[in-house]
A and B are shown apart, each in its own frame.
Chain A
């Protein structure tokens, strides 16, 4: 018996709720010249990484942000001790090209 025909059992994948970046109305933009890690050129601080609810920030100097899934909550900008992250309204980036994503 294929278990999947009998019981509901999910397997993990990114984007379970779709491209959650579409939820965003402002995107975080890191100013590397202000970022503590970038300035020291080593993986230090990482406060933005630790406090992202969506695991959308990858550690680095500076850290990088996955804009496909970032929901734009703005916690990273709020918590950054150096004020290096700005939430920039999406409208300023113009219209995003919608990717061809198969309906899940």
Chain B
């Protein structure tokens, strides 16, 4: 695993960008860009990343970048990859589609599923801040149960959909879950994905101070807490082989005990007012997924 001091120094995400203070996406994007060493073209739908990228005629990211319509990310990425191949530039650049959770699991899932079924040659990275943050924190299919959003004022009633598992069901060569709170984990997984061909799917959990309701200073701390309490499980599935990675692997190695979810929930205003029953339901959801992950880790698939 790459250490922080081994990360490339060169920055492609520039200071003075339009992202909110403490945005987890900024941390994650820096690590993604470092792993790609600039040899990539991004395609990005409407999302917080569009805002981070900046308004015409100035951009905050020093990488080729093609904006696209909300449902079209994976298909536009497929087209860019095909266009580069057709014009003799196929080996030159990695195509990175990068969308939010709504853009991936909700409105973008049809195009993503199509690209995955075709095993198109691109990396698709979903940064998951668990709601439509760019439009003002409306619930998405990725919003956790109990979370208050501007379209779930009393808390969301449904559990989030598990997009990485949906992608696994397509049997693409690489599926990984990472977290922007662990930049080296992001870096390693993007670097590995970059070395492979076909459709590689990464799911990057990114903390959101404004949408979740917490002090921006706690952005990384909360991202890590999500992993330590099992809300987010860091793993990768490489050609069908499952393994826990990073902090999640360390937790498994240490006996598999997780922190209770209570502290993580209490730190965010979106979960304010959850009763004991709701918290117990969230804990049960976490425990079930973690047990399954530990079993898969032991089996290696």
Closest Cβ of chain B to A10, distance in Å, is: 4
Q: Name the residue in B16, B24, B25, B62 with the highest tally of chain A Cβ atoms < 10 Å from its Cβ.
A: B16
A59 near B9 (CB under 8 angstroms)?
Answer: yes
Whose C-beta in chain A lies nearest to the C-beta of B55?
Answer: A16
Contacts of B62 in A (CB 8 A): 12
Q: Name the residue in B5, B7, B11 with the highest tally of chain A Cβ atoms < 10 Å from its Cβ.
A: B5
Whose C-beta in chain B lies nearest to the C-beta of A16?
Answer: B54
Contacts of A72 in B (CB 8 A): 21
Contacts of B181 in A (CB 8 A): 51
B26 near A78 (CB under 8 angstroms)?
Answer: no
Main secondary structure of the interface of B (DSSP, over half): mixed
Interface residues of B in 16-65 (CB under 8 A from A): 16-19, 21-27, 30-31, 53-62
B184 contacts the other chain (Cβ, under 8 Å)? yes
A93 contacts the other chain (Cβ, under 8 Å)? no
Whose C-beta in chain A lies nearest to the C-beta of B7?
Answer: A50
A55 contacts the other chain (Cβ, under 8 Å)? yes
Interface residues of A in 5-24 (CB under 8 A from B): 8-20, 23-24
Contacts of A9 in B (CB 8 A): 56-57
Interface residues of A in 30-81 (CB under 8 A from B): 43-47, 49-56, 59, 66, 68-75, 77-79
Interface size class of A (residues with CB under 8 A): 35 or more
Report Cα–Cα, A54/B184, bound state, in Å.
17
Choose among A8, A20, A44, A47 the residue that contacts B15 (Cβ–Cβ < 8 A).
A20
Closest Cβ of chain A to B158, distance in Å, is: 30
A17 near B4 (CB under 8 angstroms)?
Answer: no
Choose among A19, A52, A78 the residue that contacts B16 (Cβ–Cβ < 8 A).
A19
Contacts of A50 in B (CB 8 A): 4, 7, 27, 31, 183-184
Q: A10-B58, A72-B21 are in contact. Are A20 and B16 (CB under 8 A)?
A: yes
Main secondary structure of the interface of A (DSSP, over half): loop
A74 near B5 (CB under 8 angstroms)?
Answer: no
Choose among A12, A15, A54 the residue that contacts B19 (Cβ–Cβ < 8 A).
A54
B215 contacts the other chain (Cβ, under 8 Å)? yes
A4 near B57 (CB under 8 angstroms)?
Answer: yes
B166 contacts the other chain (Cβ, under 8 Å)? no
Closest Cβ of chain A to B91, distance in Å, is: 25
A8 near B56 (CB under 8 angstroms)?
Answer: yes
Whose C-beta in chain B lies nearest to the C-beta of A20?
Answer: B16
A55 near B59 (CB under 8 angstroms)?
Answer: no
B14 near A13 (CB under 8 angstroms)?
Answer: yes
Contacts of B11 in A (CB 8 A): 55
Q: A55-B30, A104-B58 are in contact. Are A14 and B15 (CB under 8 A)?
A: yes
Q: A73-B22, A78-B220 are in contact. Are A10 and B7 (CB under 8 A)?
A: no
Contacts of B215 in A (CB 8 A): 74
B54 near A17 (CB under 8 angstroms)?
Answer: yes
B58 near A16 (CB under 8 angstroms)?
Answer: yes
A46 near B4 (CB under 8 angstroms)?
Answer: yes
A8 near B184 (CB under 8 angstroms)?
Answer: no
Q: A12-B62, A20-B15 are in contact. Are A53 and B22 (CB under 8 A)?
A: yes
Choose among A75, A87, A104 the residue that contacts B220 (Cβ–Cβ < 8 A).
A75
Report Cα–Cα, A86/B4, bound state, in Å.
22
Report Cα–Cα, A9/B56, bound state, in Å.
7
Choose among B18, B27, B56, B58 the residue that contacts A52 (Cβ–Cβ < 8 A).
B27
Subset of 24 A-B contacts with CB under 8 Å:
A9-B57, A12-B62, A13-B14, A13-B60, A15-B14, A18-B16, A20-B16, A24-B21, A43-B5, A46-B5, A50-B4, A50-B27, A52-B26, A53-B19, A53-B30, A54-B16, A69-B15, A71-B21, A73-B21, A73-B22, A74-B217, A75-B220, A78-B218, A79-B221
